[in-house]
Amino acid sequence: MTTRLPGVFRQLRWAQQQPPAPRAPRGCRPGIATRLPFPPWGSIQVPCRAGSGGGGSAGEGLLGQRRLQERQSGSSGRAGGKAPLKPDAVVREIIQNSKEVLSLLQKGNPAFKPVLAIVQAGDDNWMQEINQNLAEEAGLNITHVCLPPDTSEDEIIDEILKLNEDARIHGLALQLSLSSFSNKILNALKPDKDVDGVTDINLGKLVRGDAHECFVSPTARAVIELLEKSEFIIDGKKVLVVGAHGPLEAALQCLFQRKGAMTMICPWKTPQLQSKLNEAEIVVIGSPKPDEIPLSCIQPRTTILNCSHNFLSGKHECGVQFNGLTVEDDVGLLAAALRIQNVVNSGRRWLREQQYRRWKLRSLKLQPLSPVPSDIEISRGQTPKAVDVLAKEIGLLADEIEIYGQSKAKVRLSLLERLKDQADGKYVLVAGITPTPLGEGKSTVTIGLVQALTAHLHVNSFACLRQPSQGPTFGVKGGAAGGGYAQVIPMEEFNLHLTGDIHAITAANNLLAAAIDARILHESTQTDKALFNRLVPLVNGVRAFSGIQLNRLKKLGINKTDPSTLTEEEMTRFARLDIDPSTITWQRVLDTNDRFLRKITIGQAKTEKGFFRQAQFDIAVASEIMAVLALTDGLEDMKNRLRRMVVASDKKGQPVTAEDLGVTGALTVLMKDAIKPTLMQTLEGTPVFVHAGPFANIAHGNSSVLADKIALKLVGGEGFVVTEAGFGADIGMEKFFNIKCRASGLVPNVVVLVATVRALKMHGGGPSVAAGIPLKKEYTEENLQLVADGCCNLKKQIQIAQLFGVPVVVALNVFKSDTRAEIDLVCELAKRAGAFDAVPCHHWSVGGRGSVDLARAVREAANQGSHFGFLYDVQLPIVEKIRTIAQKVYGAQDIELSPEAQSKIERYTQQGFGNLPICMAKTHLSLSHEPEKKGVPTGFILPISDVRASIGAGFIYPLVGTMSTMPGLPTRPCFYDIDLDTETEQVKGLF
């Protein structure tokens, strides 16, 4: 009784790493692969049995020596009556050529090594052995997927689909019994990896005449090669292909017809077989011959080419007299060499695709209307591309994306390893002048710019945006998907939930908050011994530390791993964190504007045994975990940042971290999917990454480092990545340079500074602007004086960018009320102030076409080169770093520290955190700390009321005045207008 092999056995044969070993036994068996010796040239390991004939001896079993016989000195098919070709030289030439090609590819890509995967269902190893030997000679690797003989069609397809999506596999070949082959199995192969040319797509291209764009059957090519290399004249000959099936039959027929031969196709069991054999000058055997069919009718001087590895095998007594026949039984070896060549060519194509190339991206056409409809009407009027189509267009592999619905996908970080040798694109930051409360359209400019670059100038470009919080979405501000004809779509999905990253942050943040209070409670109600025993419980009679507990022991300097060996003093130090409740800085979060959670009391239930304290809720995007997500560059780095997060101090003044609470691993698990950027698209079908959304006041207000890094690789050396910084340049841009670029190591090439005539008029002395209140006539009528006076703020922001050595292009976001004179004045004054260029933009009303001039200006500025440098050295004392920002960026005369701020600075310095960069938390409505002061205030003293630290994220944040981290709902929130059509499931009233 035969027992079915459990599961799938994979044998990865690394050609250069295995020592020579004896010939592997036949049959597909699990175990460590052995290196098969390469067969001597002039011999073949294709099973074949030759019948007896005049002047020749019959072979027995596996024919060890190559048999290539010519009984007559001249053959009608050979030019000049030459002897048939010994194919050894052809095989050697193909393998040597493949080896040289691979060597050239590896000069630029040392780690590159193509892999051929063979899927086998059954015990016959003939194909595996031949391919293994030739692959080793050429320098390839082989993966052998060995399935039981009775594997079902669906199971075979499952294995094929896994290999299709494995970027390490460059060629796929099937070794199945004839009964196992089906069109469904064959067409499950990815055409780009189908090195045997059996899929309908590859066969279709061959028939159409596009052989250079597809893989051609190695067996069919080997037949033609043997004839042509023997100088056999194919043109005008009658060719009979007998016993071939499906792809091989089609490939042979196509190739022979291209050479001018008349091709006949015939199965073994047909009445016409004998007559067709009688008239054929070339016979190609495609499958084993049944015993009952004689071949005595084959005419002398007929050339027979055997494509079946067991034709004339020891299982059959064919009784063929070879008088006058040419039997070519070396097709299998030559086909194997050509298969290896196909794998190398596949690897070469794959490498070429990893290099910079202009995307073949299908842009989505816009038909702008006037007046411009609402944002959601425009969004709904455009049908987005399927996200997997977009991913393929920009060079993402199928196994590098995780699709969420039709229009969103997470992108895996493995992409960075694949493209590590790819040159980065140009890095562009969009910042703004000091804004009005209405905002000046940085997101819209960002999206309009990439639409112009990719959809109109055909330059690879990516937008990288922050994920918006649901708080403002349902509150008063609305979403952040851009606007008009420069949007991310679908905009309702962009603004609602997206892929759940903020919910993951909320869960992780609140788990840590719960751990803090639970630990304080348990420490206050248990003895040292009871606490230790519960922290390190008995399991099956044995106590053992977890990995994170061993880390705590190491931090405490206790070099022990056995709980039973700790002294009482060591157990106490290990078990007790002694958190001082008055120093807790970690708050619970919620992604909803809820003013009544700004100050709360927790622990009032009787079960908490009288332990209660004042606390608060922050909005979710204010969590330090959000800042960690935005600044991390990988899973390991994120885990280390989460580990370092300081949540409080103990009663001795030492920091207490997430690692001390034992929650680091759990936080990382909750964040493992959130770390992957989300791929979406603009209205014109260009790619966008949406990832992370840290506050722009108590955090740095920029999208993630990972999104930028991945995008820079995808666009390639001549492409552009455009990202946006929150608030004005004095806040968002300064933090982008001093915090984000310092963390990422990326160097910006250009700053796009967004301005509006409306905001400039406000800075020039115009009436106050407030959300929900109609604009005064000064803003809707031409007023050149207000514009000219307000350009002082624009000039100051240009100067701030120049402090960092980066060229500035001013993007004037044009509104319909702006006049030509006002637009020209702003552009002229911006250039006088030192901007590389100043360009009016109309993307809101017409899409990317309205920002083409901006895109051209950005390209020119990027070619000028930047001289980027940081504003301060992080080794400076905390106070000096704060003073540098206040004076050089804001224009303050000096700073003033409150006693609390001074105390915190001393504590952080003593705890070893003094060398972190500074993240100033101040109003975004003025360069100073007073929102009502517009233009360019000078001579003021900047008050620092408090100083806090985000150690995991990696910065100190001084508070200028009071700073709310939980917004409230207005009298009439946006949710009054939001509804769902229950029949169509369309969201209504969202912007």
3, exposed or middle or buried, with CB in 10 Å at 0-12, 13-18, 19+?
exposed
Same domain? 714 vs 817: yes
CA atoms within 13 A on the CB side of 482: 35
DSSP 271: T
Give dist(CA 58, CA 313) in Å, integer. Answer: 11
Q: Measured in Å, how far apart are the chain's first and last C-alpha atoms? A: 71
Same domain? 125 vs 147: yes
Confidence of residue 19 (pLDDT cuts 50, 70, 90): very low
* Structural domain ending residue among the three candidates 670, 695, 721: 670
Within-domain flag for 705: yes
CB atoms closer than 10 angstroms to residue 496: 16
Give residue-wise pLDDT tens across range 685-696. Answer: 999 999 999 988
CATH number at residue 798: 3.40.50.300
Range of the domain at 694: 375-499+673-864
Within-domain flag for 980: no
Give dist(CA 726, CA 465) in Å, integer. Answer: 10
Mean pLDDT of 832-838: 98
Q: Residue count of the chain, please give it.
A: 991
Same domain? 326 vs 183: yes
283, exposed or middle or buried, with CB in 10 Å at 0-12, 13-18, 19+?
buried
The answer to whether residues 562 and 502 touch, using CB atoms and an 8 Å cutoff, is: no
Same domain? 650 vs 692: no
* Structural domain ending residue among the three candidates 670, 689, 721: 670
What average pLDDT does the structure give for the chain? 86
Same domain? 858 vs 883: no
Confidence of residue 89 (pLDDT cuts 50, 70, 90): confident
**Ranges 313-327, 452-466, 887-901: which has the least confidence:** 313-327
Residue 318 pLDDT > 70: no
Mean pLDDT of 583-608: 94
Give residue-wise pLDDT tens across range 239-276. Answer: 999 988 889 999 999 999 999 999 999 888 888 888 88
DSSP 320: -
Q: Does a cis peptide bond (omega within 30 degrees of 0) precede residue 288?
A: no
CATH number at residue 116: 3.40.50.10860
Give dist(CA 142, CA 133) in Å, integer. Answer: 10
Distances (CA, A) of 387 to 409, 437, 500: 7, 35, 17
Residue 134 pLDDT > 70: yes
Helix (H) or strand (E) holding 543: strand 542-543
CA atoms within 13 A on the CB side of 596: 0
Residue 564 pLDDT > 80: yes
DSSP 172-189: EEEEE-GGG--HHHHTTS
DSSP 288: P
| Catalytic sites, residue numbers | 442, 444, 466, 477, 696, 727, 815, 844
Give residue-wise pLDDT tens across range 955-968. Answer: 999 999 888 889 88
Same domain? 83 vs 216: yes
What's the longest Cα–Cα distance across the chain? 113
Same domain? 754 vs 698: yes
Same domain? 910 vs 766: no
Question: Who's near 631: CB < 8 A, 6+ residues apart?
Answer: 641, 700, 704, 705, 739, 740, 743, 744, 953, 954
Q: What is the pLDDT of residue 274?
A: 84
Within-domain flag for 366: no
DSSP 385-436: PPHHHHHHHTT--GGGEEEETTTEEEE-THHHHHTTTSPP-EEEEEEESSPP
Positive or negative, the CA dihedral 795, 801, 807, 810 is: negative
Q: What is the pLDDT of residue 129?
A: 75
Residue 141 structure tokens: 């690797």
Same domain? 611 vs 524: yes
Within-domain flag for 713: yes
* Structural domain ending residue among the three candidates 282, 316, 339: 339
Fill in the amino acid letter for 323: N
Q: What is the pLDDT of residue 293?
A: 63
Residue 58 pLDDT > 60: no
Mean pLDDT of 930-944: 96
Residue 424 pLDDT > 70: yes
Total domains present in the chain: 4
Q: What is the pLDDT of residue 596?
A: 95
Give residue-wise pLDDT tens across range 497-524. Answer: 899 999 999 999 999 999 999 999 999 9
Fill in the amino acid letter for 159: E
Q: What is the pLDDT of residue 302?
A: 82
Give dist(CA 223, CA 88) in Å, integer. Answer: 14
pTM of the model: 0.82
Coil vs helix vs strand at 285: strand
Give dist(CA 17, CA 142) in Å, integer. Answer: 12
Within-domain flag for 970: no
Q: What is the pLDDT of residue 647?
A: 98
CATH number at residue 920: 3.10.410.10
DSSP 866-912: -----SS-TTS-HHHHHHHHIIIII--SEEEE-HHHHHHHHHHHHTT
Within-domain flag for 892: yes
Within-domain flag for 652: yes
Helix (H) or strand (E) holding 676: none
Quick one: which of 348, 367, 432, 506 has its CA closest to 724? 432
663, exposed or middle or buried, with CB in 10 Å at 0-12, 13-18, 19+?
buried
Distances (CA, A) of 634 to 316, 414, 639: 62, 10, 9
Same domain? 45 vs 26: yes
**Ranges 94-98, 267-271, 867-871: which has the least confidence:** 267-271
CATH number at residue 560: 3.30.1510.10
Within-domain flag for 14: yes
Coil vs helix vs strand at 957: strand
Mean pLDDT of 815-838: 97
DSSP 576-617: ---B-GGG----EEESS--GGGSSEEE--SGGGTT--EEE-E
Same domain? 750 vs 623: no
The answer to whether residues 233 and 225 touch, using CB atoms and an 8 Å cutoff, is: no
Same domain? 571 vs 474: no
Give dist(CA 694, CA 954) in Å, integer. Answer: 13
What is the share, in percent, of the chain residues with pLDDT greater than 70?
87
Residue 421 structure tokens: 């040798």
Of 930 and 42, the one with more pLDDT: 930
Q: What is the pLDDT of residue 74?
A: 40
The answer to whether residues 843 and 881 touch, using CB atoms and an 8 Å cutoff, is: no
DSSP 637: H
Strands 303-306 and 282-285: parallel
Q: From the DSSP assignment, how many helices (H) and strands (E) are in the chain?
A: 33, 36
Coil vs helix vs strand at 107: helix
Coil vs helix vs strand at 92: helix
Give residue-wise pLDDT tens across range 636-684. Answer: 999 999 999 999 999 999 999 999 999 999 999 999 999 999 999 999 9
